[in-house]
C-alpha cells in the first residue's frame, strides 16, 4: 500500500519529552504492548472482539489503524486475510511489520475523504483528543469506524491515577529518585540506611493501596541495590520517570462516558449508525462501532 503523504504541521505539537518516552516504549514493547499488562481474560476478550469484527467484513477491504503502536490490529487483520492494511502513529517505530508511518497526528490525517473501507484504533485515538480525532477518523472511513477507548472511570484509568499518586509520593515526599541516584553513584552507610527506611515506608504504603505492582517492583529493585547490585539504578529511575509521563497522558486522555456519547452524537449527525458497547462490567474500556448508513 502506498504510504501516506507527509502530514501538515501540527499547530499544537505534543510535549517533546512525552513523545520521546512513548517512542522508547513502543520501540521496545511487544506488538500487544497496550494490552499486555491487562488481566489475561480481559486481553483475550479484546482480541476476540477484534477478530469477530474483522470476520464480518470481506478481507479485500482497505484498513487503516490510527495511533497503532506496533500494529496489533494490523497483525490481527493480516491473520484473517487482509492484505491492504496501513498503520499510522505519532511516533516512529522501527522494524515494525507491516511498516508503520510515524509522525502522523490522529487529529490531522494525511488522507482524502473515505480513503479506507475500515478505520480502527485501539487505546490510541483519544490521545489526540477524542472529539476531533474521532471525526477525523470518520472522515477517511468509507464503511466502518471501530474504536476501542479507555474508560475514564474504569480500572485501567483508576490504576494509572493511583500509580501516579504513588510515583509523586516517592519522588516528591520521599525523595526516592534522588536517593537512588545518590546511592548508585556513591553508596555509603547514610544512603543505605535511608533506602532501608524507604523500603519500610513503601511496605506501609502498600498496605492501603489498591494496586501494589509498582511499589513491589521498586521494593525488590532497591533490595538488589542494597545487596551490591547497583547496575540498574540509573536506568530504574529513568524508567519510572518515563512511566510517569505515559501514565499522565493516558489518565488525561481516557474519555468519560459523556465524551464517548458526545462523539456518538456527532457521528450520527454526519450520517453514521453508532453502537457503544462496554468491555467488561466496570467497564475496562468501551467499543464505539460506527457504520455509514
pLDDT bin (cut points 50, 70, 90) of residue 168 is: very high
Residues 145 and 259 in one domain: yes
pLDDT (0 to 100) of residue 99: 77
Domain holding 86, by residue range, is: 16-152+254-292
pLDDT bin (cut points 50, 70, 90) of residue 11 is: very low
Question: Is residue 4 included in any domain, yes or no?
Answer: no
Residues 89 and 137 in one domain: yes
Question: Is residue 38 included in any domain, yes or no?
Answer: yes
Q: For residue range 106-161, list pLDDT tens digits in order.
A: 999 999 999 999 999 999 999 999 999 999 999 999 999 999 999 999 998 999 99
Residues 199 and 273 in one domain: no
Q: Select from 235, 250, 265 the last residue of a domain.
A: 250
Residues 47 and 104 in one domain: yes
Q: For residue range 222-256, list pLDDT tens digits in order.
A: 999 898 877 777 688 988 999 999 899 999 999 99
Question: Is residue 39 included in any domain, yes or no?
Answer: yes
Residues 94 and 182 in one domain: no
- Residue 9 and residue 6: Cα distance in Å, rounded? 9
Residues 166 and 78 in one domain: no
CATH value at residue 94? 3.40.50.150
pLDDT (0 to 100) of residue 21: 80
Question: Is residue 135 included in any domain, yes or no?
Answer: yes
pLDDT (0 to 100) of residue 173: 96
User: How many domains are there within the chain?
Assistant: 2
CB 109 within 8 A of CB 66: yes
Q: For residue range 190-222, list pLDDT tens digits in order.
A: 999 999 999 999 999 999 999 999 999 999 999
Question: Is residue 2 included in any domain, yes or no?
Answer: no
Instruction: State the pTM of this model.
Output: 0.87
Question: Is residue 3 included in any domain, yes or no?
Answer: no
**pLDDT top residue among 52 and 4:** 52
pLDDT (0 to 100) of residue 37: 80
Chain-wide mean pLDDT for the chain?
Answer: 90
Is pLDDT above 60 for 166? Answer: yes
Question: Is residue 10 included in any domain, yes or no?
Answer: no
Q: For residue range 25-64, list pLDDT tens digits in order.
A: 777 778 888 888 888 899 999 999 999 999 999 999 999 9
Question: Is residue 7 included in any domain, yes or no?
Answer: no
Residues 268 and 137 in one domain: yes
Residues 244 and 179 in one domain: yes
Residues 27 and 132 in one domain: yes
pLDDT (0 to 100) of residue 13: 46
Amino acid at each position: 500500500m502506498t504510504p501516506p503523504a507527509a502530514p501538515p504541521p501540527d499547530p499544537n505539537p505534543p510535549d517533546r519529552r512525552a513523545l520521546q518516552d512513548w517512542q522508547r516504549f513502543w520501540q521496545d514493547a511487544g506488538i500487544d504492548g497496550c494490552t499486555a499488562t491487562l488481566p489475561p481474560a480481559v486481553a483475550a476478550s479484546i482480541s476476540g472482539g477484534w477478530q469477530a469484527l474483522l470476520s464480518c467484513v470481506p478481507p479485500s477491504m482497505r484498513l487503516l489503524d490510527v495511533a497503532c503502536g506496533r500494529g496489533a490490529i494490523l497483525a490481527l487483520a493480516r491473520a484473517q486475510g487482509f492484505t491492504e492494511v496501513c498503520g499510522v502513529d505519532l511516533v516512529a517505530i522501527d522494524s515494525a511489520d507491516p511498516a508503520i508511518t510515524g509522525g502522523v497526528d490522529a487529529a490531522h490525517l494525511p488522507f482524502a475523504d473515505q480513503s479506507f473501507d475500515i478505520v480502527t484504533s485501539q487505546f490510541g485515538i483519544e490521545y489526540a483528543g477524542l472529539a476531533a480525532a474521532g471525526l477525523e477518523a470518520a472522515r477517511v472511513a468509507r464503511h466502518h469506524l471501530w474504536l476501542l477507548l479507555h474508560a475514564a472511570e474504569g480500572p485501567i484509568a483508576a490504576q494509572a491515577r493511583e500509580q501516579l499518586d504513588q510515583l509523586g509520593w516517592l519522588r516528591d515526599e520521599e525523595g526516592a529518585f534522588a536517593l537512588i541516584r545518590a546511592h548508585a553513584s556513591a553508596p555509603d552507610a547514610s544512603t543505605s540506611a535511608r533506602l532501608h527506611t524507604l523500603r519500610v515506608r513503601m511496605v506501609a504504603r502498600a498496605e492501603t493501596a489498591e494496586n501494589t505492582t509498582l511499589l513491589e517492583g521498586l521494593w525488590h529493585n532497591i533490595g538488589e541495590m542494597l545487596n551490591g547490585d547497583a547496575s540498574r539504578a540509573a536506568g530504574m529511575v529513568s524508567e519510572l520517570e518515563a512511566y510517569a509521563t505515559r501514565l499522565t497522558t493516558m489518565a488525561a486522555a481516557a474519555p468519560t462516558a459523556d465524551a464517548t456519547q458526545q462523539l456518538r452524537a456527532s457521528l450520527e449527525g454526519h450520517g453514521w449508525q453508532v453502537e457503544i458497547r462496554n468491555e467488561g462490567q466496570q467497564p475496562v474500556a468501551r467499543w464505539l462501532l460506527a457504520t455509514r448508513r
